[in-house]
Structure 1
Amino acid sequence: MAWNSGRFDRWGTLGASTGAVVLCAAAALSGCSKSESPSSASTAASDATASAAPAAAASGKPKIGFSVSTLNNAFFVGLKLGVEKGAKDQGFDLVQTNANGDAQQQVNDANNLLSQGITALVLNPIDSKAIIPAVQKANSMGIPVFTLDRGSDGGKVTSFVASDNVALGATGAKWIADKLKERYGSPKGNVVDLIGLVGTTAATDREKGFSDEMAKYPGIKVVARQEGAFDQEKSLNAMTNILQKFPQIDAVFGANDDNTVGAEKAIDNAGRYKPLGDKEHIMVIGADGTAQALSAIRAGKQDATISQNPIEMAAKALSFIADNNAKKPVPANYAWPTLLIDKSNIDSDETKKYGLWSLQVSQ
């Protein structure tokens, strides 16, 4: 996907937390991976016939359509909960579909939603290019489109709500550089970069942020860049191969916490786990703040995660739909802040205030 720097010049922000590393974020997820259940509609709405213009549901409430990329990843379960929360808060009827990681299925789902008299379409795209026809069809019908966590490369999107993934990637790189400086006296060492799901704006932007920041440290060598695809099994396999090839690895950046959990399993399996503080400890930092990552941080298997809050992020997107319905201005891009969590602040009041969203998600 082509990099569009202008997209981030226009971000609105919620504000920063105090006392920890907080970033404003733009388009993702965490993360992303395959899904588990068939594409299905839920949450209720009367059967409405296709319309060339937005129409209210039979209940008189605006009807919102939501297509989530997958529910086989806790982050996207969090997005679903946030959309449901936002719909309830704003008094919307909601129709949902799960594309199960299939980009063409998602386009089909979106077209089906557009035939049901919805007044707005919320998309969490699997692929930023593949979703374009659905966005363009909504545009032709006069139905506003809102993208959540991941963006679209074409068509008109009214508002894009996510984390600033370029900044997120840069934070991961700087954290690694700082830790390597503590270890060696200057930022140097061997680093592995496990990239997210290629084709998503989140993966592209995190990789750009990470790579651009890491380029500032000539003493650090990125010995391997492989796609982990926001998937634990793929990341485990990729990291297993990397560990066999490189006897010296100092740190791993995972584009999301599924990538890092897979990497941690590979490190364990290879007998190369060393506890925090050991000079041979392989430092691992990820993103999203999943329950597995938080447990790994407490156990000393993962050093840090750059947490998002998909529940609150999604609810904010629904509030923008209400504003748009009321003819109020809404931001074209809105960045939800992130928080770097490690062992020093995982149980702090600040972290609790930010929200350990993964504790609200059960799979």
Structure 2
Amino acid sequence: MAWSSAGVDRWVARSARMGATAGVTMFAAAAMLAGCSKSESPSTSATATDAAAASAPAQAAAAPVTKIKVGFSIATLNNAFFVGLKNGVERGAEKQGFDLVQTNANGDAQQQVNDTLNLLSQGVQAIVLNPIDSKAIIPAVEKANSMNVPVFMLDRGSDGGKVTSFVASDNVALGATGAKWIADQLSKRYGSPKGNVVDLIGLIGTTAATDREKGFSEEIAKYPDIKVVARQEGGFDQEKSLNAMTSILQKYPQIDAVFGANDDNTVGAEKAIDNAGRYKPLGDPGHIMVIGADGTAQALSAIRAGKQDATISQNPIGMSAKAMTFITDYEAKKDVPGNYAWPTYLIDKSNIDSDGVKQYGLWALEVKQ
């Protein structure tokens, strides 16, 4: 049987579809049925076939592995907690085999929208957002929706658009934990939950601040003899919280406790208390109790020094690495949770060196800023 050029072309096309090894097998079988041509010896034909078969695995091995391209926009890196989020995203992306493209909005909400649109223009297959402002980020989320790019929120959410999965601590519960801790401490001091409390709110416009304030306010309202003498925005910022607490201390001679929506708020408050000469050690009746959130290195040091009483720790490294596993699940068409609450852990001087805290993870010790 003679093979025309058209016949060979059809065979090549078919073998390409079936795979190189299968194609070689077909060709060998066809040659045996047709017989060898006068100008071709059996040994020559076998050698060519063997060579083609040997080259097929090498060609297959050389084929590039396509990685999932993931875009990540972080709000800022001026806070150790967000450095922890970045570290977790990077670790998670490496473990999942992603091609990660990152941007830092440096606290600028409009820049974050622009950064996200730029990531989308680069053909990312998933986008991870840590928003500065839950309303300002909506256009970026909606643009991703229109391009069928799944949106994964980390630590902070969006007030609009479709979000595939939102990974964060339960911030309402976190705020309530802070209020309950204060009530318990005031009960120990006075025999019942009563006293004057300062509430330093987080960065207004973020879901984390809104939810923590909701949890704190609803819980503290259960104790009618506890008076919240001042509510002021600390903005998740040490300097802003220092200035806010300085003014509050000048106005109120009697303050029993401070709730800081994060540990930058509490560090600022502690500096203001020191500057005003109002610091008293733990156990002193005049000690102003301070509780914050996140579990930063400064907070842990302040707890050991007796300047801060407690922190409700999160673990941004573990939290963000978990979010990256949901991208893998989504791409594999598995179900992913719309909301995933990462657990928190209350740390004070009594348990800071405990096995429980070690098992939960002192993430701040892994972060260099």
Give your verdict on TM over 0.5: yes
1:343 paired to 2:312: no
Match of 1:271 among 274, 277, 290: 277
Amino-acid identity (%): 84
SS in 2 for 1:125: coil
Residue deviations 1:280-337, cap 9 Å, x none?
0000000000000000000000000000000000000000000000000000000000
2:85 & 2:118 partners in 1: Cα distance?
21
1:238 paired to 2:244: yes
| Number of the residue aligned with 2:146 | 140
| Number of the residue aligned with 1:42 | none
Aligned pairs for 1:82-93 within 5 A: 82-93=88-99
| Number of the residue aligned with 1:21 | none
Instruction: Looking at secondary structure, tell me which structure has more helix per residue.
Output: 2
Residue deviations 1:163-201, cap 9 Å, x none?
000000000000000000000000000000000000000
SS in 2 for 1:341: strand
| Number of the residue aligned with 2:61 | none
2:112 & 2:364 partners in 1: Cα distance?
25
1:191 & 1:138 partners in 2: Cα distance?
43
TM-score (norm 2): 0.83
| Number of the residue aligned with 1:192 | 198
SS in 2 for 1:273: coil
1:189 & 1:59 partners in 2: Cα distance?
63
Residue deviations 1:37-94, cap 9 Å, x none?
xxxxxxxxxxxxxxxxxxxxx8610000000000000000000000001101111010
| Number of the residue aligned with 2:39 | none
2:65 & 2:98 partners in 1: Cα distance?
10
Q: Give structure 1 regions of 4+ aligned residues with deviation exceeding 6 angstroms.
A: none
| Number of the residue aligned with 1:70 | 76
2:216 & 2:88 partners in 1: Cα distance?
28
Aligned pairs for 1:16-165 within 5 A: 60-165=66-171
Instruction: Quote the RMSD (CA, aligned, Å).
Output: 0.6
Superposition deviation, residue 117 in structure 1: 1.1
| Number of the residue aligned with 1:213 | 219
One-letter code of the match for 1:154? G
One-letter code of the match for 1:338? T
One-letter code of the match for 2:94? K
1:242 & 1:155 partners in 2: Cα distance?
39
2:132 & 2:221 partners in 1: Cα distance?
29
Gaps of at least 5 residues in structure 2 are 1-63
1:300 & 1:357 partners in 2: Cα distance?
21
1:312 paired to 2:315: no
SS in 2 for 1:147: strand
| Number of the residue aligned with 1:255 | 261
Aligned pairs for 1:284-295 within 5 A: 284-295=290-301
SS in 2 for 1:134: helix
1:157 & 1:275 partners in 2: Cα distance?
46
One-letter code of the match for 1:332? G
TM-score (norm 1): 0.84
SS in 2 for 1:335: strand
One-letter code of the match for 2:275? N
| Number of the residue aligned with 1:46 | none
1:113 & 1:359 partners in 2: Cα distance?
31
SS in 2 for 1:175: helix
Say which one has the larger Rg.
Answer: 2
1:144 & 1:344 partners in 2: Cα distance?
43
One-letter code of the match for 1:152? S
One-letter code of the match for 2:166? F
One-letter code of the match for 2:216? F
